[in-house]
Chain A
Amino acid sequence: MSEHKGIWVIAEKTPENQIAGVSLELVNAAKGLSQKLSGEEVGVLLLTGNDDVEPLLKELSEAGAQKVYLVRDENLERYSTELYSKAACDAITQKKPSIVLIGATTTGRDLAPRISARLNTGLTADCTGLDINEQGLLAATRPTFGGNLMATILCKTCRPQMATVRPKVLPKAEPDTSNSARVEKLDINLDPSAIKVKILECLNACQSAGCKIEDAEIIIAGGRGIKNAEGFKILEGLAESLGGAVAASRACVDAGWRGHCDQVGQTGKTVCPKIYIACGISGAIQHLAGMNSSDIIIAINKDPEAPIFQVATYGIVGDLFEVVPALTEAIRNSRLTCSC
């Protein structure tokens, strides 16, 4: 086990061919862990197609990566569980990192358990905190029981120690333009006939595609109190007046009123905007797990007993169908803009 050294991040790319925000957050987290492990190397595994990798390498360097292990193959142009897990497992077996971190995105959570199961090691899901304990082990903390309980998990005897980590929970570093990561190319044989799952069609992108909820500074979120898909229109009005994005609780997504990509909460996305306006959301612990680190939470709900008021910076007890339009109109009339 002592031959395993170094902290790796498996980088994820966005559809626009940039490094995903969560991967940059993880490089920064890896730097922090490295300091507690006498400066073990912060490495990034970058799996990519034949596109220009220079912009990606620049992003990773500026985020603080010391080394980028690069696997470039035309078969990695697009994510596939089969080839990405093969490339990652082979790279890990060759280079033997001690810790491997992966973003807890839908792609990361598709990939990570395949790797840990194949390498017969431990994986902690959907973490919100990472640390090194007194024995030099990765201590990965995550919410469980629907966010009711936090658990810190260790992987004592198997390597690498793996974790998927929620986006938007750990901070990104300011880009350091003076840092330059060394690049090592890895040759890995990939056979495209191993791919058994084919993407036939990419259907509707997210409803708030113009402004993804995970990147938004202002979020207007609707819950069961919105009553139907049509009800989201008034939230869109408010979002437009403030320049924000519209999100939904799980109840709305389960009911088919909004897509899964707009869902905030334990089984949706974690968001950390400057302002989170919860409309008709009761505030189940599973929902709070996805948004309670927002700077300001504003709750609008008919039920004065709704648990959302216990976490709200400002609460208004009232009918959202009256309060939200009144708020939209007042903001428009006074030509107020948000300073964030």
Chain B
Amino acid sequence: MKIIVCVKQVPDTSDIKWTENNTMVREGVESIMNPFDEYAVETALRIKEASSETTITAITMGPPQAKDVLKRAIAMGADEGILISDKKFAGADTQATSRTLAAAISTKIGEYNLVICGMYAIDGDTAQTGPSIAEHLDIPQITYAKELEYTGEDSITVKREVDEGSQKVEMRLPGVVCMLKCDYEPRKPSIKGTMKANRTQIPEYNLEDIGLDPSVVGIKGSPTIVSKAFRPEPRESGEMIQAGSPQEAAQALIEKLKAEKILA
């Protein structure tokens, strides 16, 4: 079985700071593997552990330093990594990104059974790239996947979580699975894995290598543009209820709500 895992390097959004002029401080923000993608890698590794014939290729599109997330995937246990990198890819929206990744998968990997992505990237939060890759590859998808139940060469059974509850679904392969965070934690890279990652040559492909026209990639190939970015209006804070015991605090809160005619 051949598995492709799509990973993305993202800034750690839990650690964002702002300048006095309300612009984001980008310097010194740590770059990490998108946390949802760590679950995608972990899920692939679990399939590999269950069937030794499996190989895992991690792929990313990004600047040269995005190689770091491929090294991390290899250190976790992936077999190889592929970097798709070209200045012409810069400024891509989800449409151009997914088109580029799909073209790279088709031209540089070719045969595969399964593509696993993280459901969201924590910087963009769009959840669009996985399904769009599936569309460009013309294969089916399972979004909001929480747990893999069965994997064979031709089909996969997945538990997914949707607004109404959870579902068990079966997909004929090849297909794309977009992972939420699962009940199992992604493993940390081992020392042996890290040494292997440092030894592994990561091939790098540019626009010409994947055979797309310059007009369909990067900012030129992106139908959407950001016209404005701003910080959300903060909500005003209210009052703290100062009271001694929990009972007194509860009572004081109830009095406030009664005064506001919310409780009667």
Asked if B175 and A144 make an inter-chain contact with CB atoms under 8 angstroms apart, the answer reads no
- Contacting residues of chain B (137-176) with chain A, CB-CB under 8 angstroms: 139-144, 146, 157, 159, 161-172, 175
Residue from A143, A310, A323 whose CB has the most chain B CB atoms within 10 Å? A323
Task: Please measure, in the bound complex, the distance between the C-alpha atom of A206 and the C-alpha atom of B256, giving whole angstroms.
Answer: 32
Asked if B162 and A107 make an inter-chain contact with CB atoms under 8 angstroms apart, the answer reads yes
Known: A106-B162, A203-B168, A317-B240. 11 other contacts (CB 8 A): A107-B162, A109-B127, A148-B231, A152-B228, A153-B225, A204-B166, A205-B165, A267-B119, A316-B243, A318-B246, A323-B246
Q: B247 on the interface (CB 8 Å rule)?
A: yes
Task: Please measure, in the bound complex, the distance between the C-alpha atom of A157 and the C-alpha atom of B127, giving whole angstroms.
Answer: 23
* CB contact between B249 and one of A284, A313, A326 (< 8 Å): that residue: A326
Contact flags (1/0) for A104-132 with B, using CB distance below 8 Å? 01110110111011101111111000000
* CB contact between B262 and one of A145, A198, A296 (< 8 Å): that residue: A296
Task: Please measure, in the bound complex, the distance between the C-alpha atom of A107 and the C-alpha atom of B93, giving whole angstroms.
Answer: 22
Which of A36-44, A56-64, A219-227, A331-339 lines the interface with chain B? A331-339
Cβ–Cβ < 8 Å partners of A81 in chain B: 131, 140-141
Secondary structure class of chain B's binding surface, majority of residues:
mixed
Residue from B24, B127, B225, B234 whose CB has the most chain A CB atoms within 10 Å? B127
Cβ–Cβ < 8 Å partners of A316 in chain B: 240-241, 243, 249, 253
Q: A237 on the interface (CB 8 Å rule)?
A: no
Asked if A110 and B263 make an inter-chain contact with CB atoms under 8 angstroms apart, the answer reads no
Cβ–Cβ < 8 Å partners of B258 in chain A: 336
Q: A196-B172, A338-B262 are in contact. Are A122 and B237 (CB under 8 A)?
A: no
Cβ–Cβ < 8 Å partners of A259 in chain B: 161, 165-166
Chain B residues proximal to chain A, CB less than 8 Å? 11, 13-14, 16, 24, 93-95, 98-99, 119-120, 122-132, 134-136, 139-144, 146, 157, 159, 161-172, 175, 180-181, 183, 222-232, 234-235, 237-241, 243, 245-247, 249-251, 253-254, 256-258, 260-264
Asked if A148 and B168 make an inter-chain contact with CB atoms under 8 angstroms apart, the answer reads no
* CB contact between A203 and one of B163, B165, B175, B226 (< 8 Å): that residue: B165
Cβ–Cβ < 8 Å partners of A28 in chain B: none
Task: Please measure, in the bound complex, the distance between the C-alpha atom of A322 and the C-alpha atom of B246, giving whole angstroms.
Answer: 6
* CB contact between A114 and one of B131, B163, B240, B260 (< 8 Å): that residue: B131
Asked if A117 and B136 make an inter-chain contact with CB atoms under 8 angstroms apart, the answer reads yes
Task: Please measure, in the bound complex, the distance between the C-alpha atom of A201 and the C-alpha atom of B168, giving whole angstroms.
Answer: 5
Q: A205-B165, A254-B181, A326-B246 are in contact. Are A146 and B122 (CB under 8 A)?
A: yes
Q: A249 on the interface (CB 8 Å rule)?
A: no
Cβ–Cβ < 8 Å partners of B226 in chain A: 151-153
Asked if B223 and A261 make an inter-chain contact with CB atoms under 8 angstroms apart, the answer reads no
Task: Please measure, in the bound complex, the distance between the C-alpha atom of A323 and the C-alpha atom of B248, giving whole angstroms.
Answer: 9
Asked if B135 and A315 make an inter-chain contact with CB atoms under 8 angstroms apart, the answer reads no
Residue on A nearest B126 in the bound complex, by CB = A125
Min distance, Cβ B203 to any Cβ of chain A, angstroms = 26
Q: A311 on the interface (CB 8 Å rule)?
A: yes
Task: Please measure, in the bound complex, the distance between the C-alpha atom of A284 and the C-alpha atom of B163, giving whole angstroms.
Answer: 22
Q: A188 on the interface (CB 8 Å rule)?
A: no
- Contacting residues of chain A (299-324) with chain B, CB-CB under 8 angstroms: 309-319, 322-323
Q: A116-B132, A338-B262 are in contact. Are A205 and B164 (CB under 8 A)?
A: yes
Min distance, Cβ B25 to any Cβ of chain A, angstroms = 11
Asked if B125 and A327 make an inter-chain contact with CB atoms under 8 angstroms apart, the answer reads no
